[in-house]
Structure 1
Amino acid sequence: MSDAAPMAFVGDSLTQGGDWQTWLPGETVYNFGVGGDATDDVIARLDDVIGARPAVVALLIGTNDLAWRRSVEHVVRNVETILVTLRRELPEVRILVQSVLPRGHEFADQIRDINRHLWQFAPTVYAHWLDLWPALALEDGELNPAYSDDRLHLNAEGYRIWVDELVPALERVRQLPPTSRAITLPDLG
């Protein structure tokens, strides 16, 4: 990793709970994770992220929308709005969109649908995609209980798995020009 301009992590309690500065030594990290936030909340505070002028934005948001019974379309539309706004306001920023994490298996179909849409949309705004689902989900779509005590929040092992996936993705993002090509997208079949 590089010690270039700052990196911003944007999201909800999953992001807020990360010890990003420790896990990414040599980086200047801003943690814009707020417990309980849904996509509407991130839109409302996006000016704070833009004002920080990060070189990289790592976005993970959407699971709390499902708890509020918001539709897949609502989540996707709002994340698209976040990405378009970041691209417009910070044209040189490198954006890493992270898949909505698995939680209880009853949410699996909705989360898969959200992730499929975001995976398809990310390249249209020159954002890069990191699919965390394979590393964290059981076959039925449940968040692996080895990584969570409540079927939603990550424990230390869950964060370790996330960081193991995140670090190489951030390295790839840093190496690419900000508005070039997307990281090769996975087959979500």
Structure 2
Amino acid sequence: MKKLFQVLFLIALSCSTLGQSLPLATEKLSKLYPTKKSVSLYHNDWTQKYYPKRIQEFKKEPLEFGEIVFIGNSITEGGKDWSVRFGIDHIRNRGIAGDVTDGVLKRLDEIIYFKPKAVFILIGINDLFSLHHNEDNRALKYDKVVPSPEYIGENILKIAKKIHRKSPVTKIYVRTLLPSRREYIKEDILTVNKIIKKNEAKGCYEVIDLYSQFVDAQGELPAELTKDGIHLNDKGYAKWINFEKPIIERL
């Protein structure tokens, strides 16, 4: 009888506190996302305004436990609904146009909290635009310039290590940077990709070599696969999906 009373008491206690737990859960969820001031010094002036807006979109539609998450910049964001593209449920888009490796490091808490089945990372091309800001005609302003391709490679390693350390159940894939039709970043893309491959074991991730799938004989992104020499068109995304779908289907 005493044991029955204890069980009934615990049930009553849980029922009485159930309504109180929801605000706490909402408050905790809110803390998973960067504040409006949490932009990177390496974001250009446009991204410093866009990054907080995109974070608010993530906050309104948070991840769920055990999903597949694509992390990246405009190339990832431009894929829109990746579940529809792949025909596989629960692939979530966490791309932010203009984002850099520092920006991704600032927004990993949501991903770590929800313990994804897998994350796929493609980041670094905007870091290279920052590095070569004087050679790009987009007239975008930067508070600070990314120091080197080596800095980018090390940040990608930091991203993977942080996810692995705090969510060891998550399978991590790092994609090599896509080739470009802009001459001034071609060598730096190769440098970053070399670092990504070198750090594979150290970072507890598996490399997906997108670069080798997209590069042509001239070391460029083929014109028929891109809108502007950097971003993919529908044909480019279709090629990407055909290459990666067997990997995702094995998860």
TM class by shorter chain equals 0.7 to 0.9
Aligned length: 170
State the alpha-carbon separation in 2 of the partners of residues 145 and 25 from structure 1. 27
Q: Which residue of 1 aligns with 2:91?
A: 29
State the alpha-carbon separation in 1 of the partners of residues 111 and 128 from structure 2. 24
Instruction: Give the alignment partner of residue 78 of structure 1, picking from 147, 155, 158.
Output: 155
Structure with the larger RCO, 1 or 2 (CA within 8 Å, 6+ apart): 1
Q: Which residue of 1 aligns with 2:72?
A: 11
Q: 1:6 is matched by which residue type in structure 2?
A: E
1:5 deviates by: 2.8
Q: Which residue of 2 aligns with 1:100?
A: 177
1:80 deviates by: 0.7
1:132 deviates by: 1.0
CA deviation map 1:109-145 (0-9, x unaligned): 1111111110121222331111111221222322111
Give SS of 1:141's match.
Answer: coil
Q: Which residue of 2 aligns with 1:114?
A: 192
1:61 deviates by: 0.3
Structure 2, unaligned runs of 5 or more: 1-64, 132-145
Q: 2:69 is matched by which residue type in structure 1?
A: A
Q: 1:124 is matched by which residue type in structure 2?
A: K
Whether the aligned pair in 1 keeps the contact of 2:101 and 2:123 (CA below 8 Å) is: yes
Q: 2:113 is matched by which residue type in structure 1?
A: G
TM-score where L is the length of structure 2: 0.64
CA deviation map 1:2-60 (0-9, x unaligned): xx931000000100111311023232122110000010100011112212321100000
Are the structure 2 counterparts of residues 141 and 105 from structure 1 closer, same or farther at C-alpha, using a change threshold of 3 Å? Answer: farther
Give SS of 2:202's match.
Answer: helix
TM-score where L is the length of structure 1: 0.84
The structure having more radius of gyration, on CA atoms, is 2
Give SS of 1:78's match.
Answer: helix
1:171 deviates by: 3.7
Structure 1, unaligned runs of 5 or more: 175-189
1:66 deviates by: 0.3
State the alpha-carbon separation in 1 of the partners of residues 248 and 208 from structure 2. 9
Are the structure 2 counterparts of residues 24 and 5 from structure 1 closer, same or farther at C-alpha, using a change threshold of 3 Å? Answer: farther
State the alpha-carbon separation in 1 of the partners of residues 232 and 206 from structure 2. 23
